[in-house]
Amino acid sequence: MNLRSTNKVKVEGGMSSMTDLVFLLLIFFIVLSTKVTSGHDIDLPSSKSSNTKEKSNIKVYVTNENEYFIGAKSKQAVPQEELETAIMAELKNDSVIELMGDKLSSWEHSVKVIDIAKRNKLAVVIKTKAN
């Protein structure tokens, strides 16, 4: 007499709902990371080639209100009179400035940054966005 049952109940958790949840979280963070911007709200002009080969040491932002910001995390605008001393204080070993000027800013304010770089023998990379 065989008293054992041939039908055994398997106790397993379904992993398909867990993988669905992981994929949804992955999609959520990918979409969220593309929406997050670092730095200041600058609407860059567009160009056909926007590849930079030089690494920048310092970023100078010129907003549409013609205010200067040095670095992505700066909260306070730098006055025009103190711009050169602020740039020179932020520079480290490399001598490259990445200039990000809003397309609605006056060209005159971007040229001031270029003049400061030329006076101090620094390289300037003008940042644009691709078409």
What pLDDT digit, counting tens, does each position of 88-114 carry?
888 776 678 888 888 788 888 888 888
DSSP assignment letter at 70: E
Q: Does residue 80 fall inside a structural domain?
A: yes
The total domain count for the chain is: 1
* pTM of the full structure: 0.57
Residue 23 forms part of a structural domain: no
Q: Is 98 helix (H, G, I), strand (E, B) or coil?
A: strand
CB 47 within 8 A of CB 130: yes
Q: Percent of the chain beyond pLDDT 90? A: 5
Return the CATH number at 57. 3.30.420.270
Q: How far is CA 49 from CA 1, 25, 56, 60, 90, in A?
A: 84, 35, 17, 20, 28
Q: Specify whether the backbone of 109 is left (phi greater than 0), alpha (psi in -120 to 50) or beta.
A: alpha
Domain span at residue 115 reads: 46-130
Q: Is residue 76 part of a domain?
A: yes
